[in-house]
Amino acid sequence: MSIKYKILKAIDVAGLNFLRPVILLCYGEEPEEQIRKIGLFIAVPIMAFCLFLYLWGLFAPMHKTKSGEVPTPSVVWDSAKGVWAFHVREKNKANAYNLEGDSRDKLLEQAQTRLSELEPMVARVNEQLAEADGAMQSSLASKIEPIKAELDSSKNAMREAQKARQADLQARAKAIAADDTAAKEKLLEDYRAHLAQIETERESLRSYEEQIDEIHNADFPQRAEAIRAQSAIAEERQYLVKLIDTLENNRQQKLSDIETRLEGFESSYYEASGADLLKHAKSITRTESLMVNAADSEYAKPMTLPDQVLRSVACVFAGFLVASLIAIPVGIVCGLSPIMMSALTPFIALFKPVSPIVWLPIFFIIVGGFIPDPDKHWLIAGLAELPLIGWMKINPAFIASALTVAMCSLWPTLVNTALGVASIDKDHINVARVLRLGFWSRLIKIVIPSSLPLTFAGLRISLGVGWMVLIAAELLSSSEGLGKFVWDMFNNGSSQTFAQMFVVVFVVGIIGLLLDRIMIVFQRLVSFDESPTSI
């Protein structure tokens, strides 16, 4: 029995209450009731999500835009796989730079075999594409030519007619006497009719043009498929070529090259004498410094989506930490002292509604002022040395984004903490007075514990706000992260762009959900009452 309650308690604290009926069912408690609850809390959401995917897949292809069709779930999934494949390839290249000995030789061999397998396929897909291209061109030509011929002939006929009418009007205009008002009015009327006719003629041509455009813009699945096949092979080939090149010129190879050269210089130094000695000494020291550089070198890997996600999460937590460090103490002070509350209210009211888009440039300039030369600044250099976050290359853009997150997300915590502190049970305060507790013990033993549930509710909202703000901040500051990924993909304007945006929607959503869950756990841990937490 105790295990059951432990599990139920754990589920409750973790905010996973939808699992409760499953556990109870396992213990055979009120099976019908549990099955009903499982249906409600698990089956219904899953079915709703499936329905959503089905409707999405059904309706997406119906809406055509100039950037392509709205992607269906399967296209988005493919695109997500593409993003992942890019990450894996870049990671492999970076690893290849560091490999030594057997593992290097093995990978090199693997890559070379795969490359030789690809070579015949390259020719084949190119052929297929050429075929598809030819088929498309001839089909286009056969469809367009008749319309085009009609368009051209009617266009020419109309132009001839236009010219004739124009000439006719011109001739009549010349013949009209200066005082012949009636004729003049007639001419004006005819000129208007002439213009109107041009307009209608133009209209009538437009339908032909639209037909031609439609034929041009129509999908040609065979060709699209051939292009996809060609791209997949060409991209893999390019990756393998670069991988092999990296393996052949990786750090180990460079070091051994430089070492041989150094040995040569050293032997010639000891053979030489007199004035030449210094010259040789110079080559030795220079080669030595080259060696140090080569030994430290790392493959310059571009940031890929998984790295960017981690960096974004780090950034939001950095901002969240700063926000909490400011908001909780200030909130407590406000809750304790009505004077402080009254003094700070205008600031809260004034700054709370300001958009992150406005804060970011301000923080960007301020941070830039503190860090004029990022490469040599102690903070940046120090952070780059840290074990877990060193690879993130924290730079002023990261700091500015984190501060923007902090600025926008501190308000819910501040207000909630103040409210929590202000609404402490009067009995607790009276007890404290009777016990003659000092200010600090009153603060730590009574005020903070009883305000914690509300504070954490505030923190949870803050983290949610921070996560939303962060994407915008990164987009503006071009600090490597999800925001920059979104912006780069949008700027790519490729056929993949649209689908990649949808990938980001899910990535952002899932991470936001996880962050929220984490906060719920904390909130449950500090709530000693039975007050339910919203999902």
Partner 1 sequence: MKQLLSKITLWATALGLFSATLTAEMLDVEKTELKFGFIKLTDCAPIVIAKEKGFFSEEGLQVEVIAQPNWKTLLDNVISGNLDGAHMLSGQPIAATIGFGTKAHIITAFTMDLNGNGITVSNAIWEAMQENDWDLDVDQPEHPISADALKPIVEEKLIAGEKLQMGMVFPVSTHNYELRYWLAASGIHPGMYTTTDIGGRTDAEVELSVTPPPMMPATLEAGNIQGYCVGEPWNQQAVAKGIGVPVTSNYDIWKNNPEKVFGVTYKWAQENPQTHLAVVKALIRAGKWLDATDENGVLVNREEAARILSRPDYVGADYDVIKNSMTGYFYFQKTDKRPMPDFNVFFKYYCTYPWYSDGIWFLTQMRRWGQITEAKPAEWYFETAKEVYKPAVYLEAAKLLLAEGNIDEADIPWDTDGYKAPTSDFIDGILYDAKDPIGYLNSHDIGNKD
With H, G, I as helix, E, B as strand and everything else as coil, classify residue 388.
coil
Choose among 353, 336, 359: nearest CA to 405: 359
Minimum distance of partner 1 from residue 104's CB (angstroms): 16
Distances (CA, A) of 42 to 20, 39, 514: 11, 6, 18
**Least distance in Å: CB of 493 to partner 1?**
6
* Three-state secondary-structure class, residue 263: helix
Instruction: Report in angstroms how near the CB of residue 373 gets to partner 1 at its nearest.
Output: 5
Nearest to partner 1 of 306, 368 (CB atom): 368
Of the two residues 127 and 213, which places its CB atom closer to partner 1 in the complex?
A: 213
Task: Say if CB 409 and CB 463 are below 8 A apart.
Answer: yes
In whole angstroms, the minimum distance from the beta carbon of 379 to partner 1 comes to 14
Min separation Cβ 103 and partner 1, Å: 21
Please choose, from the candidates 203, 231, 267, 185, the residue with its C-alpha nearest in 3D space to the C-alpha of residue 85. Answer: 231
Toward partner 1, which CB reaches closer, 116 or 289?
289
Considering beta carbons, is residue 25 or 294 the nearer one to partner 1? 294
**Quick one: 143 exposed, middle or buried, by C-beta within 10 A (0-12, 13-18, 19+)?**
middle
- Taking residue 126's Cβ as centre, other Cβ atoms within 10 Å add up to 15
Residues near 409 by beta carbon (within 8 Å), at least 6 away in sequence: 319, 320, 323, 462, 463, 465, 466, 469
Report the nearest approach of partner 1 to the CB of residue 191 (Å): 17
> For partner 1, which is the closer residue by CB, 170 or 217?
217
Report how far residue 123's alpha carbon sits from residue 276's, in angstroms, rounded to the nearest whole number: 57
- Residue closer to partner 1 (CB basis): 238 or 441: 238
Residue 320 or 364: the one with the smaller Cβ distance to partner 1 is 364
- Other CB atoms within 10 A of residue 479 CB: 27
Give the nearest distance from C-beta 492 to partner 1 in angstroms. Answer: 3
DSSP 8-state assignment for residue 64: E
Of 172 and 242, CB closest to partner 1: 242
Q: Contact residues for partner 1 (CB under 8 A)?
A: 66-67, 86, 155, 159, 202, 213, 216-217, 227, 231, 234-235, 238, 242, 245, 249, 253-254, 257, 260-261, 264-265, 267-268, 271-272, 276, 279-280, 283, 286, 289-290, 293-294, 296-302, 304, 368, 372-375, 395-397, 475, 478, 487-496
Q: Crossing angle for the helix pair 356-370 and 448-477, nearest 10 degrees?
A: 80
Which CB atom, from 13 or from 232, has the smaller least distance to partner 1?
Answer: 232
Percentage helix, strand, coil for the chain under 3-state DSSP, each rounded to 5: 85, 0, 15
CA dist., res. 111 & res. 154, Å (int): 61
Q: What is the DSSP letter of 423?
A: T
Least distance in Å: CB of 375 to partner 1? 6
Q: How far is the CB of 73 from partner 1 (least distance, A)?
A: 21
Question: What are the tokens at 75?
Answer: 């296209």
Q: How far is the CB of 66 from partner 1 (least distance, A)?
A: 4
Closer by beta carbon to partner 1, 213 or else 425? 213
d(CA 8, CA 416): 29
CA neighbor of 413 nearest in space, from 450, 357, 466, 360: 466
- Residue 64 has phi, psi (to 5 degrees) of -100, 135
